[in-house]
Structure 1
Amino acid sequence: MPLHVPPAPAPALRSVLTALASPTAVREARTPSLLRAQGPATPELPLPVHVLEHISATGAPTTRLAGWRFLIRCGDRAVAAAETMLTPDGWAFSRFFEGPYIASTELALRQAETVQQPYQPRLLSVPGLYMLTLWLHDDPTADGATGHPAGTDLLIPLAPAPPGIAAHRPHRVAELLPALTRRVTPAPLLSSPAA
């Protein structure tokens, strides 16, 4: 089933295209793959990046939109990614980067295309665990910049995943979030017995 990739805000895409056209921006990015890329580099697959901020006592997640991430393709593969962020003046280019999450995102997107139900792909960052997941939202027509993970949505942890969490194994939000909550929530301090 094809994924329904939400459209990125036009100013976000323009900021990435401008950065790609700027030799200074590419040089300062210090991404060897992007510097060595032969041929045109094109931004593809814009994914909204949401940050998991809090999980309530009832298990309801609170997220916020942190930006949009574009895979930068050169030829037949993604060589880097570009992120944009919302500023008081609108969407602006943030940075180019590379690393294991580029290939892992591509792999997770290929996995998601084999699922029978239509989904909208997003990224969900869990800062407390240094974790990034492909979030498959079950409403493919939703505004990609809004919303919270629903219990029936799928999360696919990207590699490298935290110890004990298998990368590239899809989980329902209702199954994975409680496990993440236990890992992120500090254990209560035990009081010492009175002497």
Structure 2
Amino acid sequence: MEEPEIIAGCRQNSPHAQRYLFDRYYRRSYHVIMRYLSNHHDTEDVLSISFTRIFKNISQYENRGEGSFHRWLNTIFINESIRFLKGKRELMFQEDEELLSLNIPLVDHSEILDVEEVQQILAMMPKGYRTVFNLFAIEGYSHKEIGDMLHINENTSKSQLSKARNYMVQKLKKKYRHEHQ
């Protein structure tokens, strides 16, 4: 089933089309949401809420060219993840003077980073850091857009990204030192 058929079927509340959409996008959406929540059970809850919202609001989707449906879906997954974190009051932006004082480059070209290692570090990262890091580095939002989404100052977004990068570097350095002793 092609994307236009899936969308048309979902607009007509076809259970077959809804199931097809769910099956087709489940894995990808799971990974998007998991990057924000780092908890399987919470991710499943947000997936359920997200797909319910998608089916309810699919009539509002406007095709704006290639990839627009993926972007529309992604926006819903991200917004629901943020809404979930805010609802649990887990989205806090931490001040950590020790990390602020560090000025460490994110990438050391002498080593190749393992994606799984980076994902593990992201999962351990404070939620405020992780959320801004995901929105900026992975999703490609600007600091202004992130500020608007999270209802924070643009400079807070920049600060959280810097702290997230420093957190990542510290964990990678610690792991690297431990492995090479």
Normalised TM-score (structure 1): 0.29
| TM-score, L = length of structure 2 | 0.31
Q: Of Structure 1 and Structure 2, which has the larger fraction of its residues in helix?
A: 2
Q: Which structure has the highest strand share of the two?
A: 1
